[in-house]
Amino acid sequence: MRVVVAPDSFKGSATADEAARALARGWLARRPGDDVRLVPLADGGEGTLDAFAAARPDAERRTVTVPGPDGRPVSAAWLLLPDRTAVLELARSSGLPLMASPDPLGAHTYGLGAVARAALDAGATRLVVGLGGSASTDGGTGALRALGLRLHDDLGRDLPLGGAALAGLAGIDTTDLRPAPPGGVRLLVDVTAPLTGPAGAAAVFGPQKGAQPAEVTLLDTALRRFAGLAGGDPDEPGAGAAGGTAYGLAAVWGATIVPGATTIAGLVGLPGALAAADVVLTGEGRFDETSLTGKVVGSLLDSAAAAGVRVAVAAGQVAGPVPGSVSAAVSLVELAGSVDAALGDPGRWLTEAGALLAGRLST
Ligand SMILES: O=C(O)[C@H](O)CO
């Protein structure tokens, strides 16, 4: 059988590359004669830079120290390609795992803007920015402020950083905003969520950043206030990515929003790999209905169906009904017996899952 192993990262426990290797090890233990090709994926969130780096060995890797989402310094990597395109990943500078403790109201994206500034200073003429896995719900205002935007209250005072402060926003001043690079800014987004409302950034992703229901309401109101002054299209699919960073960068900096999963899949050669495959083995930390809204596994299900390739899924957890387009699914937590056991040795359980799925798809 010709097998493509194309997982997303298992956030916090295995990179996409580590997951692909472990799944393939298990598969080959059960079916040693198969032709197995590894195509680790990403969707704009964590792992995006690695996916680009693997696909573009000519990229120069740089790092810069910037304020993280809670203000503590972080060292954030980014890539400079020979054509002077810079590739940035928000999760590296402003991601949820960088927080010492959750702060859904105060966490911010200032660090992302500082990385963008460093890339522009280094001569980048075009930016590609992976958005997802953020700690904040600040509409990208932190990033824009690092680039010179001023946000003030009705007394003309600068607002503090963070999403909640936007509830007191009275005016936006772009006088000192650094212009976007001539080649433009492309945002690779990990979700199709709009900025606000029940399917928006605060309602859907606020709770995973620690927001309680009243805080979700406050953040949603704050984002609406920002959108009321910044214009643009808060309903554009993906505007809600990374706590609304996609919206902010699109509305204020003229950035373009594109689906991260399909764009990265194209870049790393997934369509060609699928065309020559019988089975694709994918996976992610949690497989649930949000997986089907622009994430790696959902978009891979669509591509595999179009290519007539069977799909097997290994996920840390499988929640809710498994779609009919999936031939077999395995939960690492069920395999290991508990969340702690699964997280304690992800390589072992991914390998076991690979072997189990090879057995199930043999019939
Ligand atoms: O960062 C976030 O808010 C989620 O990954 C959705 O983009």
Residue 137 sits in the same domain as residue 232: yes
Residue 65 sits in the same domain as residue 205: yes
Indicate the SS3 state at residue 173: strand
CA distance 318 to 327: 14
Residue 87 sits in the same domain as residue 182: yes
Residue whose CB lies within 8 A of the most ligand 1 atoms, among 94, 98, 131, for a mutation test: 131
Query: Taking a C-beta distance cutoff of 8 angstroms, is the pair 74, 90 a contact?
Result: no
Q: Which is the closest atom of ligand 1 to the Cα of 246?
A: 7
The CA angle 312-26-360, to the nearest 5 degrees, is: 40
Residue 24 sits in the same domain as residue 79: no
**Protein residue with its CA nearest to atom 3 in ligand 1:** 242
Q: Give the pLDDT confidence of 164-199 residue by residue, as tens digits.
A: 999 999 999 999 999 999 999 999 999 999 999 999
Residue with tokens 């426990």: 13
CA distance 148 to 178: 6
Distance 104 CA to ligand 1 centre (A): 12
Gyration radius of the chain over CA positions: 20
Burial class for 191, CB neighbours closer than 10 Å (0-12, 13-18, 19+): buried
Reference 18, options 278, 350, 249, 244; nearest CA is 350
Cα 44 to the center of its chain, rounded Å: 4
241 lines ligand 1 (CB under 6 A): yes
313 lines ligand 1 (CB under 6 A): no
Question: Pick from 201, 235, 261: which residue ends a domain?
Answer: 261
Looking at residue 289, its pLDDT comes to 86
Residue 155 sits in the same domain as residue 10: no
Distance 60 CA to ligand 1 centre (A): 27
SS3 of 27-48: HHHHCCCCEEEECCCCCCCCCH
What is the domain-level CATH number for residue 21?
Answer: 3.40.50.10350
Please report which confidence band the pLDDT of residue 12 belongs to, taking 50, 70 and 90 as the band edges.
confident
Distance 203 CA to ligand 1 centre (A): 11
Instruction: Report whether pLDDT(138) > 90.
Output: yes
Instruction: Report whether pLDDT(363) > 90.
Output: no
Distance 320 CA to ligand 1 centre (A): 21
Distance 216 CA to ligand 1 centre (A): 14
Q: How far apart are the first and last CA of the chain?
A: 12
User: How many structural domains does the chain have?
Assistant: 2
ipTM of the complex: 0.99
Looking at residue 149, its pLDDT comes to 98
Query: Taking a C-beta distance cutoff of 8 angstroms, is the pair 191, 290 a contact?
Result: yes
What is the domain-level CATH number for residue 179?
Answer: 3.90.1510.10
Question: Pick from 221, 241, 261: which residue ends a domain?
Answer: 261
Residue 196 sits in the same domain as residue 309: no
Count how many Cα atoms sit within 13 Å of the Cα of residue 262 in the half-sphere of its side chain. Answer: 14
Tell me the sheet residues that pair with 172: 151
Distance 328 CA to ligand 1 centre (A): 27
Residue 70 sits in the same domain as residue 181: yes
Looking at residue 130, its pLDDT comes to 98
Indicate the SS3 state at residue 256: strand
Residue 187 sits in the same domain as residue 225: yes
Distance 94 CA to ligand 1 centre (A): 11
DSSP one-letter code for 195? S
CA distances from 156 to 151, 153, 165, 170, 236 (A): 9, 5, 14, 8, 30
191 lines ligand 1 (CB under 6 A): yes
SS3 of 214-252: HHHHHHHHHHHHHHHHHCCCCCCCCCCHHHHHHHHHHHH
**Protein residue with its CA nearest to atom 2 in ligand 1:** 242
Distance 352 CA to ligand 1 centre (A): 30
Residue whose CB lies within 8 A of the most ligand 1 atoms, among 108, 205, 258, for a mutation test: 205
Question: Which contiguous run of DSSP H or E holds residue 336?
Answer: helix 332-336
Q: Which is the closest atom of ligand 1 to the Cα of 189?
A: 7
Q: Which domain holds residue 309?
A: 2-41+270-360
Question: Pick from 261, 288, 316: which residue ends a domain?
Answer: 261
Residue 165 sits in the same domain as residue 88: yes
Residue 53 sits in the same domain as residue 36: no
Please report which confidence band the pLDDT of residue 56 belongs to, taking 50, 70 and 90 as the band edges.
confident
Percent of the chain exceeding pLDDT 70 equals 100
46 lines ligand 1 (CB under 6 A): no
Burial class for 289, CB neighbours closer than 10 Å (0-12, 13-18, 19+): exposed
Residue 58 sits in the same domain as residue 193: yes
Please report which confidence band the pLDDT of residue 353 belongs to, taking 50, 70 and 90 as the band edges.
very high
Please report which confidence band the pLDDT of residue 344 belongs to, taking 50, 70 and 90 as the band edges.
very high
